[in-house]
Chains A and B, each alone.
Chain A
Amino acid sequence: MTSDKPIVVENPWERLRAFTDARIGLGRAGVSLPTGKLLEFQLAHAQAQDAVHCPLDVEALAQQLQEAFAFEHEPLRLHSQVEDRAMYLQRPDFGRRLNDDSRERLQKAAASQSRVNLAVVVVDGLSALAVQQNSQPFLKALYQQFEQDSAEWQLAPLTIVEQGRVAIGDEIGALLNADAVVVMIGERPGLSSPDSLGLYMTWAPEPGLKDDRRNCISNVRPGGLQMGEAARRLFLLLKEARQKKLSGVKLKDRSEDNVLDGDAAATGSPRNFLVAD
């Protein structure tokens, strides 16, 4: 070798990594990924693939939530028509509907219950980890919003669904005579975020509704959208849905603000550094 240049070129902007989880400033060998960064990626992918196949410990979750919130009715444990993970991955249609046993039990539970404002449904989705870790802190933040509101919020018994998809909430909400349903579901694991919760809200739930009737808030996790902020946004959506009696694309999310401004306050910089002069 005649050149004293390094084989791997580091990026002089590497310190930007302190400001984001994105894989920036990785450096390069030629124009390719250096070996260390390549293997870090491969490890993260391996872990995410494993997370997809990890089952929800539904017993532990139900117990944890009951202890935390002392519900009048214990959380109802439900199951979709999916039999195993392989079927879950290839048959989303089965994941959107309750199995017969769950439907019957839910009907029985709902028989004694009058109309409620909201049903909250916890669903494993593609990340049991997200549901296991984030359900309790998120529900705590959400219940605080209801308590602080001047209007009364009648809630259906909490339900926990195994092998479910988002749309299963519509069937559950309808069976529980709920004006609206919120589904808290484990999102597909990302490399940097195996623990991300998605929130989906539908006004007037019934089986067969499409995505245009739902509003979504995603990336709810300790390293993403914080529980309190997610609960605040969801609550604003619910208030507006209740007032206008609709949800989905006709109901714009007007929670706005505070995301960018909030970050600016946290970083001490009011502006994008790329244009700050």
Chain B
Amino acid sequence: MAQTYHSTVGSRHYHFKNLAELMAKATPPRSGDRLAGVIAESAEERVVAQMVLAELPLATFLNEVLIPYEDDEITRLIIDDHNIEAFAPIKHLTVGDFRNWLLSDHATPEVLQSVRAGITPEMAAAVSKLMRNQDLILVGKKCRVVTAFRNTIGLPGRLSTRLQPNHPTDDVTGIAASILDGLLYGSGDAVIGINPATDNVAQSVKLMRLMDEVIQKYQIPTQSCVLTHVTNTLEAIEQGAPVDLVFQSIGGTEATNRSFGFDLSILAEAEAAAQSLNRGTVGRNVMYFETGQGSALSADAHQGLDQQTCEARAYAVARKFNPLLVNTVVGFIGPEYLFDGKEITRAGLEDHFCGKLLGVPMGCDVCYTNHAEADQNDMDNLLTLLGVAGCNFVMGIPGSDDIMLNYQTTSFHDALYARRVLGLKAAPEFERWLTEMQIFQDVKTHRLNDQLPAAFANSLRHLPREPRHDV
């Protein structure tokens, strides 16, 4: 029988019918929880829920699961993979104590790494609900998650970027032009990753070959990815395509993932298939996952949970498959889930914190859509905060405008701004390449070359003569 929770403030008595409701009502406000009907009914009820949550022992989350074990393979993954030994140093703590401990000098980067396997997504989500933005930043920065394939992502003092050269018709010259623009602005060390305009195996293979040829010709220490469905990439691997990273959007409930058309066994198959290609040079992390608060609700698969708790559960899926990159696409989903710049900012910081605490190599697509109450200033703020928090990577796109997906994310310029003001650098292997290719005059002071580097000047001579005209 699930436990219920109570508290009285003054003359008002509050009742929370189960742990899921307590978690939801303790969550800082956002439109998606309102849409789901799980939001606190008043500001006071929210803080009361946070106070009740703060008193709960962390071990509660091992005994009282939010989605039944029999019904959900992610619950089974969370419970079955929980490491009791790693949990031992924190098992006596309440959620409120856990916040204190995370902020304390006891919780060094090394200690945080050692307790990782003992922390469940629900514990991470619960403590995040008690934390202010600065807490999320401070602890997020202490949690280091380093991964590698052809370069090393997530080292302290580094901020990598995904070069995202999307084009509405997957036009080769258009994509190549955006890749060139990005490389010449120092972008692309996390991955060169294309969202194909149409979900189609043959098209994906062509894009994989396109990127592979560029990476090989210029000897770029980076990896490529076509963001198509995992089953498409598996088919591409069978066809002998040059697959570096396997992509999949993931969510925090089995039903969400079923709505995305996969389950955990398919991800295991995909990881093994990509690893069998042995294409990495300095590491074997071959998965690229994207997440985002609201995806479970959007698939009508949230099972009564708040969207931030669902999101944290997605990181249990991610960490099972040793990803190179996990990207919370925080403002993409729209205003029905995260209404404005304030809600997007909070969600971005929560996701980064929860992911890192659980050992996931978090990056963030700092972004918004044209129907959200957000603008470039909101993105500047979140980018800066995430840079301070030690976020592994952000997106890089020409002039912030994704002409394929129709949303705005961080630009090549934005990433250089963040690197400059925060003294951050690209992945070390990629940074060396930027110097060798003369893309930067001085990579340490973030000074770009005013001239076109020789290797690329030559390529421009091979441009098609007639520009493409839309017919």
Contact = CB atoms under 8 A, between A and B. Distances in A.
B13 interface: no
Nearest to B369: A188
Interface in B31-81: 31, 34-35
Nearest to B174: A20
Interface stretch (A63-71, A103-111, A210-218): A210-218
Nearest to B169: A225
> Chain A contact residues (Cβ within 8 angstroms of B): what range?
35 or more
B105 interface: no
Contacts of B471: 226, 266
Interface in A41-80: 41-42, 44-45, 48-49, 51-52
A22 B399 contact: yes
B277 interface: no
B407 A188 contact: yes
A84 interface: no
Contacts of B335: 89-90
A211 B251 CA distance: 13
A173 interface: no
A20 B173 contact: yes
Interface string A249-274: 11011111101100110111101111
A217 B198 CA distance: 6
Interface residues of B, number: 90
A116 interface: no
B465 A20 contact: no
A225 B465 contact: no
Contact of A249 (B261, B300, B452): B261
A121 to B, nearest CB: 20
B438 to A, nearest CB: 13
Given A16-B181, A28-B448, A268-B466, A260 B206 contact: yes
Interface stretch (A7-15, A145-153, A155-163, A176-184): A7-15
A211 B397 CA distance: 27
A276 B460 CA distance: 10
A20 B177 contact: yes
Contacts of A191: 370, 401, 403, 406, 408
Contacts, number: 266
B210 interface: yes
- The interface centre, meaning the residue of A13, A41, A193, A264 with most chain B CB atoms within 10 A of its CB, is A13
B413 A26 contact: yes
A99 to B, nearest CB: 19
A272 to B, nearest CB: 5
Contact of A9 (B232, B399, B450): B450
A189 interface: yes
B259 interface: yes
Contact of A18 (B213, B459, B467): B467
A272 B259 contact: no
Q: Which of B202, B260, B335 neighbours the largest number of chain A CB atoms within 10 Å of its CB?
A: B202
B203 A259 contact: yes
A172 interface: no
B339 interface: yes
A10 to B, nearest CB: 9
Contacts of B451: 12
17 contacts: A13-B452, A20-B171, A22-B174, A23-B399, A31-B413, A188-B406, A191-B401, A208-B300, A222-B470, A225-B198, A253-B200, A257-B202, A259-B169, A260-B170, A268-B464, A271-B172, A273-B462
Given A15-B463, A252-B232, A269-B463, 13 more contacts: A13-B180, A21-B174, A23-B400, A24-B178, A33-B413, A192-B401, A225-B169, A260-B170, A263-B171, A266-B469, A266-B471, A272-B172, A277-B462
